[in-house]
Structures are given as C-alpha cells and as structure tokens.
Amino acid sequence: MYENRLLGFAYVSPFVVGLLVFTAFPFVGSFLLSFTDYNLIDPPAWIGAENYAFMFERDRVFWKSLSVTLLYVGMTVPLKLAFALYIAQILNFRLRGINLFRTAYYVPSILGGSVAVAVLWRYMFADYGVVNLILGAVGLDPVPWFGHPGWALFTITLLRLWQFGSAMVIFLAALQNVPSSLYEAAMIDGATKWQAFTRITVPLITPVIFFNFVMQLVQAFQEFNGPYIITGGGPLKATYLLPLYIYDSAFRDFDMGYGSALAWVLFAIIMVLTLIAFATSRYWVFYAGDKRV
C-alpha cells in the first residue's frame, strides 16, 4: 500500500516538479524582483514600491504602451470573434466540399503566429509591397502601412485577425449542437434568417462566445511576435505593446526589477478584466437547463 502511494507520487512528480520550477518559482520570484533594482550582474537591491511609483507617476513610455495595448485588444478581440463566428456560420452550411473549406480556413491559425509569416507580412505591407501594388492596380493611392502610426497598429491587428481559426472551430462545434428543430419551429412561425440567428443561435452559444472571449482577451494582451518582428514597436511607439516593453526592460536594458513590475501590472490588468467578464457573465451567458426566461 505504502509502496503504491509512493509510486503515485513518482508518476505525478514530472508535472509537479515542472509546475514548481517553471511556473511557481518564476511567479513568486518575479513578484519579489518587482520590488528590487536588479541588473543580473550586481545582487538585487530592495527598493520597495519605487518601480511601481515610477511607472505610474513618471514613465511616459508606460502610459503610451498601455494605451496602445488597450486599443489593440479593443480592436482585435471583438473583430476576431465576429469574424470567426461569421465564417463558422458559413461553414456550417451543408455544401459540397465543405471539409476542404474548413481546413483551408483553419490553416492561417497554424501558420499565423510564426516568425516566417510575420516576416512575410512585413514585405506584403511595405511601401513597394504587394498590398500597395494591388491598391495601385485598382487606382487607389498607396498607404504607408508602417509609416503612419494608426495604420501600423491596424496592420498588426490584421495579422492577429487572420488567425481566427481556433476560435472558428470552437464556434463551429457549438453551432452544430444547436438543435435544428428550433430553426424549423421558427421558420413555421415566420422568423427571418436574421431573427433566427439573433434569437436562437446567439443565445444558445453564449457559453462558447464567453469562452472564446476570455481566451482571446488573455491572448491578445500577450501578443509579442507580430509587433516585435514587423514594426519593432514603431513608428512613434504606435505598436509598442506592453509585452514588448517588458522584453525591452528586462533583456535590452537589463532592468529585471522594472521588467517584473511591468509584467505584474499586465497580469493584474488581465486578471481584473477576466474577473469582470466572469462577474457579468451571469447576465448574458445562458447554459442548458437554465431556469431563467
């Protein structure tokens, strides 16, 4: 009996050790570091809340970066959810070769976040890139995609939007679970397609919308690859998302304490927004067997 219990511990130990070493330790460690001045070479010096005070009171880069991050999240999450749901709705029709389309639409999600695609993006949207070439062919002026701060953030957003596949697949599974008898009943009562969508489909898939919303929110706040490779955070820090600032603080300036403090602020923001999403969910998310009308 005793031997078996020990064996059980041995089986879970890879996970437990991994969790302790690679998650719990950095988690606690970075929190403590956020109260220090630490450059990796000299021992960390305890400076209390000075990092946080500097961040909120004097660091213009932080506020700029935070506002860009919120703007980015505010643009990508709703757009991506809407787009994923729209495509899922189309792919839910019984068409010939539908599986081919489903696969095709999922491919960008596999490729999308990769370095290679980010580099490709940089060439596509460059001044003399293919996007401006197409615009020129239809008689439009070229757009300075990376030259103008607003366009640059939009270009980065597009890269994210393009990776709608995983959200779409989850939506698709939810759509297929909506009983067709409900639609038939609605048709008999004379409902339009739009009414059927807003009154039947959407309420029934709210748990999945909620799930996708939270996942996308958390991921969008952590976006790094796209802006790092494509714009380097520029121009005028218009694409300088918080994760880039964290990276630069820690690994360019070797200001580990400040980098940790920034990471904890980002963590706090994500946590608070997720909690808000959970708290409000009981007003707009409906589960099967729900007694509310």
Partner 1 sequence: MRYLSVLASALAGGLFATAVAAADPIEIRMSWWGGDARHKQTLEAIRAFEAKNPGIKVKAEYTGWQGHLERITTQIAGGTEPDLMQINWPWLPLFSKRGDGFADLAQFKDVLDLGQFDKALLQTGTIKGKLNGLPVSITGRVYMFNPVPYQKAGLEIPKTWDELISAGAVFKTKLGPEYYPLDTTDLNPWYAVVHYVTQMTGKSFIDPESDEIAWTKDELIKGLEFYVMLEDKGIIPNYQKTSAEGGNRLELHQKKAWIEGRLGGSYEWDSVWQKFRDPLGQNQDLIPVKTLMLKGAKSEGLLRKPTMMFSISRNSKHKKEAALLLNYLMNDPEAIKILGDSRGIPASKVAADLLINQGLVTKQVAFAHDIVMKGGAPQLSTFFEHPKMQELYRSTMEQLSYRKITIKQAADILIDEGGDILAKATR
CB 257 within 8 A of CB 33: yes
Phi-psi region of 64 (alpha: psi -120 to 50; beta: other; left: phi over 0): alpha
Report the residue from 35, 105, 106, 145 that binds partner 1 according to the rule CB under 8 A: 145
Gap between the Cα atoms of 65 and 249, Å rounded:
13
Report the residue from 160, 237, 245, 260 that binds partner 1 according to the rule CB under 8 A: 237
Gap between the Cα atoms of 46 and 40, Å rounded:
14
Q: Does 6 bind partner 1 (CB under 8 A)?
A: yes
Reading the block at residue 130, the tokens are 């293919």
Q: What are the residues whose beta carbons fall under 8 Å from the beta carbon of 168, sequence distance 6 or more? A: 84, 85, 87, 88, 91, 105, 106
| Identity of the residue, 78 or 232, whose beta carbon is nearer to partner 1 in the bound complex | 232
The stretch near partner 1 (CB under 8 A) out of 94-102, 105-113, 141-149, 173-181 is 141-149
| Identity of the residue, 38 or 221, whose beta carbon is nearer to partner 1 in the bound complex | 38
Q: Does 136 bind partner 1 (CB under 8 A)?
A: no
Q: Does 163 bind partner 1 (CB under 8 A)?
A: no
**Segment 94-123, which members bind partner 1 (CB under 8 A)?**
122-123
| Identity of the residue, 212 or 248, whose beta carbon is nearer to partner 1 in the bound complex | 248
Gap between the Cα atoms of 160 and 162, Å rounded:
5
The stretch near partner 1 (CB under 8 A) out of 45-53, 72-80, 176-184, 233-241 is 233-241
The DSSP string of 24-59 is IHHHHHHHHHTTEE--SSSPPEE-TTHHHHHHHHT-
Report the residue from 1, 3, 94, 180 that binds partner 1 according to the rule CB under 8 A: 3
Q: Does 129 bind partner 1 (CB under 8 A)?
A: yes
Give the end-to-end CA distance of the chain in Å, rounded to a whole number: 53
Report the residue from 80, 248, 259, 285 that binds partner 1 according to the rule CB under 8 A: 248
Residues in the site for partner 1, rule: CB under 8 A?
3, 6, 10, 39-42, 122-123, 126-129, 144-149, 152, 229-232, 234-237, 248, 251-254
